[in-house]
Chain A
């Protein structure tokens, strides 16, 4: 039984408080939609659960089956069963997709996976996601389209078989067919592995495919409404305006800022000639 419990979580980024007391419980096999206007803390919540060092927990707790998640390293959280499908997946030049996937799979095992088994699993995941075979042998996300990057996140999810997948706008960049394929694969993991999920999305179409049983609206660092799938439908038809009538104060929309840990000046693209 995996149970993620977030209690009264306060999180700051560069001394600016983003989450102002979030509480949320996700039980084994539950699928939750997390909605809300841009820049109100949805990604911050997922990044904090996964342990991004730029997000500082100032108070509150996060536990997984009673274990203090905040005391665990990022990789330990992954091994404990968490997965974060990112809004902006990283490009890692020089590291092939297949090498990375194999390293990630092995990190979750006591004994390294046999090459034959790995290739079979990887090929199946690629086929399930309708991805071209050559993407396995290209550098990690290098030259991938936006949609391919997102599908590649789901490939990783399938290979790592998490107990709880946190998917941050995994539907952005996907065309209508890919949207269905990604949703089908999430549903398949949910049904076959009883995988729980927290899905951040702005699009009812995607959530209609996944049909989360629970939905929450996060505004200005607080969950201001929770319910079932009917909440997704309400937001799709009415937007967020109705919350104002309930005295919910909306944060002034800001362009969401991607928090970076600082990047390396060595961009492999720079090795092409002509950068003098």
Chain B
């Protein structure tokens, strides 16, 4: 297991290997960016342990030009603060299984996920509160276009004895045409009292009145859609304090949206 304690960028190339397994232990204040590149199918296993009292910001950007099967799991120790952001805007299939274990008292987690697809992207996310006084916020923003589909299967579980915990999930999908599909399965398992929990799931098409409004100011339909799409996805970056990572994510969103809506 690699120990990371400051800023690090890791590049995973599917052209080098189609099956990759990486483990990281995070301590102190850490900014970790992982870029997935290459043009072959990739099976990626990630294990990350946020050590006690650590503050981690992790950004995963998927540029792979073939399918990715991602299994990532996180163990968050006491009083650790973790922000995990995904930028899944490439136009290839994805199956992502994320497991987030809040193992230590006072551990907190924010998951921010931006996904855009004209293919098929499936996310299964399990957030497990294994200790009391733990906090989790999971937010998904998906866009399905050109016949693509986007699935969010989001489960937050507060186990027995984990009182004082708080768990929230929000999933949103925009479908850009009648051939595209979205599916959200929000699940909360609550097995103790004195907890706070919520879920929100919304799905729909871009607001045509907003598009008309923008067109009245001279923007073409495509330009209006780009602005709306970037605006829809950008909240993913809002929780990232680090300026460099925030800027990287914003740039990535703006570039990919421009490419996809050309």
Contact = CB atoms under 8 A, between A and B. Distances in A.
B218 A78 contact: yes
Interface in B117-176: 137, 139, 168, 170, 172-174
Contact of B172 (A104, A156, A266): A266
A103 B227 contact: yes
Given A74-B212, A104-B217, A270 B235 contact: no
B215 A75 contact: yes
A200 to B, nearest CB: 15
B216 interface: yes
Contact of B200 (A74, A95, A273): A273
Interface stretch (A37-45, A82-90, A185-193, A208-216): A82-90
Contacts of A138: none
Given A270-B170, A271-B172, A273-B137, A156 B217 contact: yes
Given A94-B230, A94-B234, A264-B207, A74 B216 contact: yes
A52 interface: yes
Given A271-B172, A273-B137, A262 B208 contact: yes
A268 B233 CA distance: 11
B219 A104 contact: yes
A266 B228 CA distance: 12
Interface residues of B, number: 42
Contact of A50 (B168, B202, B216): B216
B231 A139 contact: yes
B253 to A, nearest CB: 10
A123 B232 CA distance: 26
B205 A94 contact: no
B223 interface: yes
B96 interface: no
A93 interface: yes
A139 to B, nearest CB: 7
Contact of B218 (A53, A86, A160): A160
B28 interface: no
B227 A100 contact: yes
Nearest to A109: B218
Contact of A276 (B198, B219, B232): B198
A217 B135 CA distance: 61
A96 to B, nearest CB: 8
A274 interface: yes
B231 A93 contact: yes
B206 interface: yes
A181 B41 CA distance: 61
B40 interface: no
A263 interface: yes
Contacts of A94: 228, 230-235
A78 B215 contact: yes
Contacts of B172: 266, 270-271
A92 interface: yes
A262 B219 CA distance: 20
Interface in B219-243: 219-221, 223, 227-228, 230-235
Nearest to A260: B209
A80 B170 CA distance: 42
Contact of A107 (B199, B203, B217): B217
Contact of B213 (A79, A89, A139, A273): A89
A99 interface: yes
A271 B234 CA distance: 13
B209 A268 contact: no
Contact of A100 (B168, B170, B211, B214): B214
A275 interface: yes
A270 B202 contact: yes
**Most A CB within 10 A of own CB, among B174, B202, B215:** B215
Contacts of B203: 265-266
Nearest to A268: B235
B210 interface: yes
A50 B218 CA distance: 11
Contact of B215 (A73, A86, A89, A271): A73
Contacts of B188: 276
A271 B207 contact: no
B139 A90 contact: no
Given A73-B215, A74-B212, A263-B207, 13 more contacts: A53-B212, A75-B215, A78-B215, A83-B216, A90-B209, A92-B213, A95-B230, A100-B227, A264-B207, A264-B210, A271-B170, A271-B172, A276-B197
Interface of A: 50-53, 73-75, 77-79, 83-84, 86, 89-90, 92-95, 99-100, 103-104, 107-108, 139, 156, 160, 260-268, 270-276
20 contacts: A51-B215, A53-B212, A73-B220, A73-B221, A84-B216, A100-B217, A139-B231, A261-B207, A266-B172, A266-B174, A266-B203, A266-B232, A270-B200, A271-B200, A272-B200, A273-B137, A273-B198, A273-B200, A276-B186, A276-B200
Q: 6 closest pairs, A vs B, by CB?
A: A94-B231, A265-B204, A261-B208, A107-B218, A275-B200, A74-B215
